[in-house]
Structure 1
Amino acid sequence: MKISLRKKKLASGRTSLYLEYYLGSCIDNNGKKKHNRRFEYLKIYLHGEPTTAIEKKENKEALQLAQNILTLKNSELIKGKFNIEDTNKGKTPFLEFYNKLKDDRYESKSNYDNWEAALKHLERYCLPHLKLKDVDENFVKGFKSYLQNEARTIGGSPLSQNTKYTYFNKFKAVLREAFNEGYLKNNVLKSVKGFNQGESKREYLTYSELQALSESKCKHPILKKAFIFSCLTGLRWSDINKMKWSEVRDEDDNFRIIFRQQKTDGLEYLYISDQARSLLGKRESQNDRVFKGLKYGAHFNAEILRWCMRAGITKHITFHSARHTNAVLLLENGADIYTVSKRLGHKELRTTEIYAKIIDTKMKEAANSIPILKFS
């Protein structure tokens, strides 16, 4: 393993300092060399272009702090190489270690909200000063039992199967990391099976429902425009909310969005229809947000439901339902599953196959294959 100090320029103009752990490389199934790296964000920042003496001084101190952390990490690495046991590691409080890994996910955008939500249940389950050296298989089984039988949502309902699956996976990830880094002597996960993932219901709008919604009044025009745009493109809320005019390309007879997905950090090239482009309106400055005034919160979520009720739609529709709607409409109108998967930015085809199951034409035909009964 090799540990290096790296820099990443942020949209705010500041520079984030982080550590890169290079774990080696391997050859994948396609014969290509694949490098294995892990990152630890230090939450230490530099002024992008320091102009004052104070900013230059702060940059110097921040760099020195990051270098000191790098030195400590390399020292820990050397101890591991020569089997020098660090007895202090096991004395680290479990919740403190969890919080550290959770905060690492904040910069990398890796399911931070789920980590935060799982922490609330861990805080209810375990003692605040529990040390990692005291974590054993009974502790792991106990948390699984807590999620299964005792844990409740804010509304007082038991956790769904997928929520239990998600929270327990975060818990396991922390213990796996603790074992790999020498905080735990034993792999306490060895004999404990996790939760099975449940198949979640994906609520969507039919074409006629989307038409009715388009003709109905929404209290917030920007919300209506953004929601229908998502139905026509499949873009997530997070990508629509941050979209700038620099990402919208008007190219000859085509329109497309070139953007970096907030969830996966992958660069996407998404063609959009003429109608979708017309929803965006007149082009403004490159750095301006396309959907100005769009906000995430309970008020906007409640307005989506009220808007649906005005249109005669009784389904529990959320903003994310627009993405499901796009996938279903594409498949119903002849798009192949590989194209839909690529447009939605799915990394695995099986994620998209759930939508194919929703519109299974053969199943629809089978439902109407039995001859009509005559009643007297």
Structure 2
Amino acid sequence: MKIHLKKKKLNSGKYSLYIEYYRGHTLDEKGKTKHLREFEYLKQYLIINPKNASEKKANEETQLRAEQILSIRRAEYAQGKYSIKDRSKEKLNFLSYYDKLKEERYESKGNYDNWDAAQNHLEKFCKNKQVTFEDIDENFVYGFKKYLNKKAKTKSNTLLSQNSKYTYYNKFKAALRQAFNDGYTSRNYASTVKGFAMGETTREYLTLDELQNLAKAECKHQILKNAFIFSCLTGLRWSDINKLIWSEVRDEEEGSRLVFKQKKTAAQEYQYLSDQARSILGSRKQENTRVFQGLKYGAHFNAEILRWCMRAGITKHITFHSARHTHAVLLLERGADIYTVSKILGHKEIRTTQIYAKIVDTKKKEAAYLIPKLEISDLTC
């Protein structure tokens, strides 16, 4: 293709400058030559007969701008046809680019937090904050993976868990993929180094008998007891229970349900409540009032959950989030299908819910050995 700067005479006494893209020619049905041209009008104008130095200078500046645009268009075409990399982008700061991608995810709270945590480790790895895309290569990618695996620490100064490494490295790779798509790198370095495998975490939960014992046991803070058992009956996260207000509790003819947005995913949720779950909430109050007033997250309440469990004869390490696990396992044990459980828990991917199905399978296997061995004298028919 040929790209030229041309001009067209106007009735106003000026030339209109435009770029012609000539793509060759073809023959029509009658054998007549048809030239393939496209035009880009630049909205730049030359005075045909400049009368003074000022007009001559204006023409020179206009001509220069038009020629600069022409150079850019020719360079863009060359990059598209010959895969010539835009060298100017290599000089840009990679950490600034990552920060921009992170801020684009601000509305998705859980995802944003993971991007933010990954950024903290990335900045520690990049002791020199002036890391440009020119510095990104396979060694850089492998180095960050090795850093996460061997050196990165949590706030409590422990090495990262397998799932934390998996999550943070995936955010880093997502940034690399986007950088490649945006033309900042010539290779997709996200695909050059294998990532971490996702680890299976232990999900502590209560059996129905344990939950019953806990419900009967004394808890120092009634609001904590109410909220925990409500979570066991509904599967709601602590964050959603803590922010729940009365306008999100709908008492209707068919029964009660919650209409709320998950804090972690910002997804709109609709969840029916059993009569017992609704009774835990008590009588209605003003629409903007928190349902669980006085509920707090901290070491004191966490410690009280453990003391409450001890009073109930439960020695497992139970946290508030264990209530959510309890709800999932109890549903699956009683025949709820995994798709329904996934929707109740608000999981985006069903593979997240399948972890609970594995727990239920384990319990079924254990149940097969509960019946004592019989002494059978003769098995022949």
Q: TM-score scaled by structure 2? A: 0.71
Residues in 1 aligned to 2:133 and 2:94: alpha-carbon distance in whole angstroms: 5
Corresponding residue of 1:289:
290
Q: Report which stretch shifted further, 118-127 or 300-309.
A: 300-309
Corresponding residue of 1:94:
94
Residues in 2 aligned to 1:105 and 1:331: alpha-carbon distance in whole angstroms: 33
Task: Give the alignment of 1:189-228 within 5 angstroms.
Answer: 189-228=190-229
Does 2:105 match 1:109? no
Task: Give structure 1 stretches of 5+ with no counterpart.
Answer: 1-77
How many residues are matched? 296
Give the C-alpha shift of residue 242 in structure 1: 1.9
Task: Give structure 2 stretches of 5+ with no counterpart.
Answer: 1-72, 376-381
Contact 2:108 2:265 in 1 (8 A): no
Residues in 2 aligned to 1:167 and 1:287: alpha-carbon distance in whole angstroms: 37
Task: Give the alignment of 1:269-284 within 5 angstroms.
Answer: 269-284=270-285
Residues in 2 aligned to 1:94 and 1:79: alpha-carbon distance in whole angstroms: 28
- Aligned-pair identity in percent equals 64
Residues in 2 aligned to 1:209 and 1:335: alpha-carbon distance in whole angstroms: 20
Does 2:259 match 1:258? yes
Give the C-alpha shift of residue 125 in structure 1: 1.2
1:255 alignment partner, SS class: strand
Give the C-alpha shift of residue 97 in structure 1: 2.0
Residues in 2 aligned to 1:277 and 1:130: alpha-carbon distance in whole angstroms: 55
Q: Report which stretch shifted further, 298-307 or 248-257.
A: 298-307
Does 2:267 match 1:248? no
Residues in 1 aligned to 2:105 and 2:302: alpha-carbon distance in whole angstroms: 26
Give the C-alpha shift of residue 226 in structure 1: 1.2
Residues in 1 aligned to 2:265 and 2:175: alpha-carbon distance in whole angstroms: 21
Give the C-alpha shift of residue 80 in structure 1: 10
1:107 alignment partner, SS class: coil
Corresponding residue of 1:18:
none
Residues in 2 aligned to 1:367 and 1:149: alpha-carbon distance in whole angstroms: 42
Give the C-alpha shift of residue 88 in structure 1: 4.2
Give the C-alpha shift of residue 291 in structure 1: 1.6
Residues in 2 aligned to 1:180 and 1:309: alpha-carbon distance in whole angstroms: 55
Residues in 1 aligned to 2:149 and 2:277: alpha-carbon distance in whole angstroms: 44
2:209 alignment partner, SS class: helix
Residues in 1 aligned to 2:367 and 2:219: alpha-carbon distance in whole angstroms: 37
Contact 2:107 2:266 in 1 (8 A): no
Change (3 A) 1:295 1:177: farther
User: 1:301 is aligned with what amino acid?
Assistant: N
Change (3 A) 1:304 1:317: same
CA-atom RMSD, angstroms?
2.6
Task: Give the alignment of 1:83-232 within 5 angstroms.
Answer: 83=79, 87-126=87-126, 127-232=128-233
User: 1:345 is aligned with what amino acid?
Assistant: G
Residues in 1 aligned to 2:141 and 2:235: alpha-carbon distance in whole angstroms: 39
Corresponding residue of 1:57:
none
Does 2:360 match 1:326? no
Q: TM-score scaled by structure 1? A: 0.71
Change (3 A) 1:214 1:249: same
Q: Report which stretch shifted further, 82-91 or 150-159.
A: 82-91
Q: Deviations over 1:114-141 (max 9, x none)?
A: 2222222212211222112211110000
Q: Deviations over 1:196-222 (max 9, x none)?
A: 111121111112222222223333322
2:206 alignment partner, SS class: coil
Change (3 A) 1:79 1:129: farther
Change (3 A) 1:363 1:80: farther
Q: Deviations over 1:299-347 (max 9, x none)?
A: 3333323332333322222221111100111122332333222222223
User: 1:371 is aligned with what amino acid?
Assistant: K
Q: Report which stretch shifted further, 345-354 or 319-328.
A: 345-354
Corresponding residue of 1:8:
none
2:171 alignment partner, SS class: helix
Task: Give the alignment of 1:337-376 within 5 angstroms.
Answer: 337-360=338-361, 362-368=364-370, 371=373
Change (3 A) 1:112 1:305: farther
1:119 alignment partner, SS class: helix
Change (3 A) 1:369 1:347: same
Q: Greater CA radius of gyration, 1 or 2?
A: 2
